[in-house]
Amino acid sequence: MSCALLSAWGKTLRRCGDDRAVTQAADGHAVTFRELDLRATAWLATHAPDPRALAGRAVVFAVPNGLRWFEIFLGLLRAGAVAVPLDAAEPVAAQRRIAEALRAGFWWDGARLTSLPDPRRFRDPAVCLIKLTSGTTGQPRPLIFTAAQFLADAQQVTATMGIRPRDLNYALIPLGHSYGLGNLTGPLLAHGVPLVCGASPLPHAIAADFARWRPTVFPGVPAMWRALAASEVALASLRLGISAGAPLPPEVARDFATRFGRKLHSFYGSSETGGIAYDPTGAATLTGGVGCAMRGVELSLQRGQRLLVSSAAVFTHGNRHREKMIGAWIMADRMTLDLRGRVTLLGRRGRTIKLAGRRVDLSEIVTCLGRLPGVRDAWVGVSCGADPVLGAVIATERPVGELRTALHPALAPWKVPRKWLTVSALPITARGKTDGRATQALLFR
């Protein structure tokens, strides 16, 4: 049983029990912390009459942000199960396939818990959560976390960002994604920070939610901030706007600051580590930086400009980089770490391909495209088949001819894409990252 997490939740109930905890913006339904706990207990009693059957078993569920999500998550914690939240948009067949691949004990099919064959039992009672990597470069990978690691991430987020129970979090990012777990779920359970689940990511819907519910903290992704900066809406109650999930273009940060008179704050993290770096003033965000190490996080630069992250929030199960119970993880991104501890991302490592006998670093091409005036975002990839073609999808209004000409001084001829597509915005996943598969299909259909 995840005693540490349930103990933290118990303290929250004693401190904030009668305060509002979760509000669903779509229908206005709201519950207090105590009512949320009762709903979780009722869900468990209805769907798992013998909670002992869930103890130590992984349980997979894919539910949209809202009261039901917390009922299931809290209910599983009470039963000593290992929660495995998926994106709500995951197709039903894929949910079951993932559950079976994980050797989960149960899968929530939307109406009931379905038992699965050959389940694995986790013998460590501290294990409470499995995060799945996004899978943009292959099959999603399971990461096993203890309650202490989950709580450490929430503590680092709230302490570094100054988020308190008097705030109201605006929940549009998925509650079960690493970003949502650290910035929304953990702060609510362990620190009593209430939240309102947004109705829609469209600017007018966000503005309507802000006008009615007056949230103060908004953990968003670059696509949301770009749309808001280009709109005419108002966000009068916003105290803290956080951007993570993908690099925030400096021009978006500047446009937002001009439009709303308030700076955005870049936040960098990963599923393996939780939060890593944060820009508390918003100044680094305006020039493409992501700030400095969060409280409780130690950073050091390794060979190949890769960052070693150490903290109590980093996973340790199956992780060879660890010191006693403190985990460490070497990031795949390339970055700089200056003498003042400021982190700047340089692009992803490991996107080198061989094309016509020559090595081509796709990240280098993306970086060069991103430096061109008028380019909001870029993706570069190759087609499948015997004669692969290098292609690029660019979020811009500039003509392709201009872009191609502008690239020649910076890149060797064989590194300049042959196939081009311009769009208003790149496809993104629910986690706010570029959807590589969808973009590939768009370019090479």
What's the topology of domain 3-346? Answer: Rossmann fold (3.40.50)
Residues carrying CATH 3.30.300.30, the chain: 350-443
Q: What torsion, rounded to 10 degrees, do the Cα atoms 282, 287, 288, 294 define?
A: -40
* The pLDDT of residue 380: 92
Q: What torsion, rounded to 10 degrees, do the Cα atoms 125, 61, 188, 318 define?
A: 40
* The pLDDT of residue 322: 58
Integer CA distances (angstroms), 428 to 137, 165, 231, 245, 380, in order? 14, 31, 20, 10, 15
Assigned architecture for domain 350-443 = 2-Layer Sandwich (3.30)
Which two structure tokens, joined as six digits, stand for 406? 């502008």
Angle between helices 33-47 and 3-16 (to 10 degrees): 140
* The pLDDT of residue 236: 95
* The pLDDT of residue 349: 58
Cα(163)–Cα(280) distance, integer angstroms: 12
* Cβ atoms of 434 and 425 closer than 8 Å: no
How many C-alpha atoms does 85 have within 13 Å on its Cβ side? 28
Cα(204)–Cα(312) distance, integer angstroms: 39
Longest dimension (CA), the chain: 68
Residue ranges, the chain, pLDDT below 50:
1, 135-138
* The pLDDT of residue 361: 78
SS3 of residue 24 by DSSP: strand
* The pLDDT of residue 237: 98
* Cβ atoms of 107 and 85 closer than 8 Å: no
Counting beta carbons within 10 angstroms of the beta carbon of residue 238, is it exposed (0 to 12), middle (13 to 18) or buried (19 or more)? Answer: middle
* The pLDDT of residue 348: 61
* The pLDDT of residue 354: 66
Cα(226)–Cα(228) distance, integer angstroms: 6
* The pLDDT of residue 304: 83
Which two structure tokens, joined as six digits, stand for 439? 């973009």
E strand or H helix that includes residue 74 = helix 67-79
Nearest to 64 by CA among 144, 148, 176: 176
* The pLDDT of residue 138: 47
* The pLDDT of residue 388: 84
* The pLDDT of residue 114: 95
* The pLDDT of residue 321: 67
* The pLDDT of residue 325: 61
Residues carrying CATH 3.40.50.12780, the chain: 3-346
